[in-house]
């Protein structure tokens, strides 16, 4: 599949924002974070800002962005529509949560309920995002339970590393946040490596033989290409990346996304500046991995053009 920059930005930025918002909604009501005005402005502002940037970027992949609102009406059958509805609910419950934190500097009682609702709605939204891709039967690499689990795990990991970076910048005791960030990074990248191995060993579910029903006669091969030049389907769904380049990018993703930030968190050196660098490195690793998520996906329409499905 064509790795559109808008979709990479959407899934990584919004994912990090929802992950951070989830942790804020859980940690603040239970007293794990200081309910201080400027800390709230920084953390909630970053979370909601990333979410807004991600959702705005997603509209650039639509043929008619001005009609994006119409997708909300299909929530009964469409995960994209459900994600849109969940995103609006998240804004609705996050607003009073932020109001209580920033204006009245409280996250107790009534305001705590909005914090927990914010965490729940953020988790639901990112799960819906994962299901948008996991529901597509025509793309074998996405039609798997690995995908929603990966989206949720990476949202938590990037949100956690951003939270611990902000806590270090504001000189807030961050020992527990460091552990959460390290654990969530290990979980996310452990799942990612498992996913890569599973996809590499997967047997194609669709082939030219199964598509034509002529498999009993032997191997099916097109006599000639259906088109003499590039077209929309080949540009959007026929993107291919060389195996050697994919392997190199995987190594870079793991190095930046896991190795670098985990080493900094484990050693506890460098102060706030280095933790911020670790958060940026982790985000870069996730961007590379998400780009590969799109680039390595093969649509069954490629069979029509003689492309191998794997």
Q: Hey, where are the domains in the chain?
A: 5-213+231-305
pLDDT band at 232 (very low <50, low <70, confident <90, very high): low
End-to-end CA gap in the chain: 12
Helices and strands: H and E segment counts in the chain: 11, 0
pLDDT of residue 236: 61
Average pLDDT of the residues in 138-151: 94
Which tokens in the block code for residue 99?
A: 């109001």
pLDDT, tens digit (0-9, with 9 covering 90-100), for 176-191: 999 999 999 999 999 9
Please, are residues 239 and 141 in contact by the beta-carbon 8 Å criterion? no
Q: How far is CA 170 from the centre of its chain?
A: 27
pLDDT at position 43 over 70: yes
> Per mean pLDDT, which range of 22-36, 127-141, 152-166, 256-270 is the poorest?
256-270
pLDDT, tens digit (0-9, with 9 covering 90-100), for 21-33: 999 999 999 999 9
Asked whether the CA dihedral 75, 154, 163, 13 is positive or negative, the reply is: negative
pLDDT band at 75 (very low <50, low <70, confident <90, very high): confident
Higher pLDDT: 276 or 236? It is 276
- Mean pLDDT over each residue of the chain, to the nearest integer: 89
pLDDT at position 235 over 80: no
pLDDT, tens digit (0-9, with 9 covering 90-100), for 261-288: 999 998 876 689 999 999 999 999 999 9
DSSP string, 113-161: HHHHHHHHHHHHHHHHHHHHHHT-TTBTTTSSTHHHHHHHHHHHHHHHH
**Residues contacting 265, CB < 8 A, separation 6+:** 164, 178, 181, 182, 275, 278
Higher pLDDT: 290 or 227? It is 290
pLDDT, tens digit (0-9, with 9 covering 90-100), for 76-130: 889 999 999 999 999 999 999 999 999 999 999 999 999 999 999 999 999 999 9
pLDDT of residue 197: 96
Task: Answer whether CATH 1.20.1630.10 is correct for domain 5-213+231-305.
Answer: yes
Average pLDDT of the residues in 150-176: 96
> Per mean pLDDT, which range of 39-48, 182-191, 223-232, 250-259 is the poorest?
223-232
The answer, as to whether pTM is greater than 0.85, is yes
Higher pLDDT: 60 or 69? It is 60
pLDDT of residue 181: 97
pLDDT band at 64 (very low <50, low <70, confident <90, very high): low
Rounded distance between C-alpha atoms, residue 297 and residue 153, angstroms: 20
């Amino acid at each position: 599949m064509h790795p559109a920059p808008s979709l990479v930005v959407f899934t990584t930025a919004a994912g990090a924002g929802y992950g951070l918002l989830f942790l804020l909604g859980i940690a603040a009501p239970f007293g794990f974070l200081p309910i201080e005005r400027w800390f709230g402005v920084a953390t909630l502002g970053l979370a909601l800002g990333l979410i807004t940037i991600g959702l705005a970027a997603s509209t650039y992949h639509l043929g008619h962005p001005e009609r994006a609102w119409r997708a909300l009406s299909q929530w009964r059958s469409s995960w994209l529509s459900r994600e849109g509805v969940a995103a609006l609910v998240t804004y609705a419950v996050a607003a009073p949560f932020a109001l209580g934190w920033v204006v009245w500097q409280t996250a107790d009682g009534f305001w705590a309920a909005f914090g927990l609702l914010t965490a729940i709605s953020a988790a639901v939204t990112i799960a819906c995002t994962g299901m948008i891709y996991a529901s597509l039967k025509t793309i074998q690499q996405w039609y798997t339970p690995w995908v929603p689990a990966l989206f949720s795990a990476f949202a938590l990991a990037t949100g956690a590393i951003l939270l611990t970076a902000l806590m270090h910048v504001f000189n807030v005791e961050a020992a527990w946040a460091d552990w959460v960030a390290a654990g969530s990074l290990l979980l996310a990248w452990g799942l990612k490596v498992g996913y890569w191995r599973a996809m590499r060993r997967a047997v194609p579910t669709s082939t030219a033989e199964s598509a034509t029903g002529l498999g009993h006669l032997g191997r099916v091969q097109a006599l000639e290409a259906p088109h003499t030049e590039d077209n929309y389907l080949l540009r959007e769904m026929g993107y291919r990346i060389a195996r050697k380049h994919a392997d190199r990018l995987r190594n870079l993703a793991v190095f930046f996304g896991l190795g670098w930030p985990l080493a900094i968190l484990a050693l506890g050196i460098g102060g706030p500046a280095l933790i911020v660098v670790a958060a940026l490195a982790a985000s870069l690793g996730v961007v590379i991995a998400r780009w590969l998520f799109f680039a390595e996906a093969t649509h069954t329409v490629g069979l029509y053009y003689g492309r191998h499905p794997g």
